[in-house]
Amino acid sequence: MEEIVDSKKQFRQKATEIVAAMAADEKAALVGKIENRLFGFANFLEANVVLLYVHQGSEVSTTHIVQRCYDFNKIVVLPAFSAKTGHAALLKVDNPRTDLKSGPWGVPEPDPDRCKMVPIDRVDIAFVPGLAFDEKGGRIGAGDGCYDRLIPDLSITTRKVALAYECQLFPQIPMEAHDRFVDIIITPERIIYKI
């Protein structure tokens, strides 16, 4: 058990260092390729209610993706996490510039005073952040377990999708019993369906 925890820390550190070493213009070009794949992806195009995340650190940037979702008439939902429980409230965001405030970990989250709750079973596609992935859908996130608690609450028909740079893919990610997999990973080069 402790070996897995240590191994996950090493993967987090390695993935973070690799992404940090990338030049800003290189990252921007790769994010553009990911966006192009995403906005041509059938599961996304068919979805009405889209659960996204506000990126942090080495995660693939979602800033432009959120903005483009409105052009595609998507209902944009972002999570607001409880600092006590780590559980998420899902809230509809109509305008990211005015509807967000700093969350418990310093990441912008929807302001419950400005945004309406969305039942979790209404989410058609859910984007799950992460730092490292494998082709089986294994993922390592920031380490707080918030998304590992959220994923099981999503409908079985809701596609769980990760956005990743190719350098964030590894042959095998160490997984614990509570860790949750994603169904699909979109990279600048390909769309990977869970094996």
AA identity, residue 28:
A
Which residue is it, tokens 């082709």? Answer: 135
Instruction: Output the tens digit of pLDDT for each of the chain's 195 residues.
Output: 688 888 888 989 999 999 999 999 999 999 999 999 999 999 999 999 999 999 988 999 999 999 999 999 999 999 998 878 778 899 999 999 999 998 877 889 999 999 999 999 999 999 999 999 999 999 998 877 788 889 999 999 999 999 999 999 999 998 888 889 999 999 999 999 986
Domains of the chain: which residue ranges? Answer: 2-193
**2-193 domain in CATH 3.30.70.380?**
no
Query: How far is Cα 119 from Cα 89, in angstroms, rounded to an integer?
Result: 9
Query: Quick one: how far is CA 114 from the chain centroid?
Result: 23
Q: Which two tokens stand for residue 89?
A: 């409230």
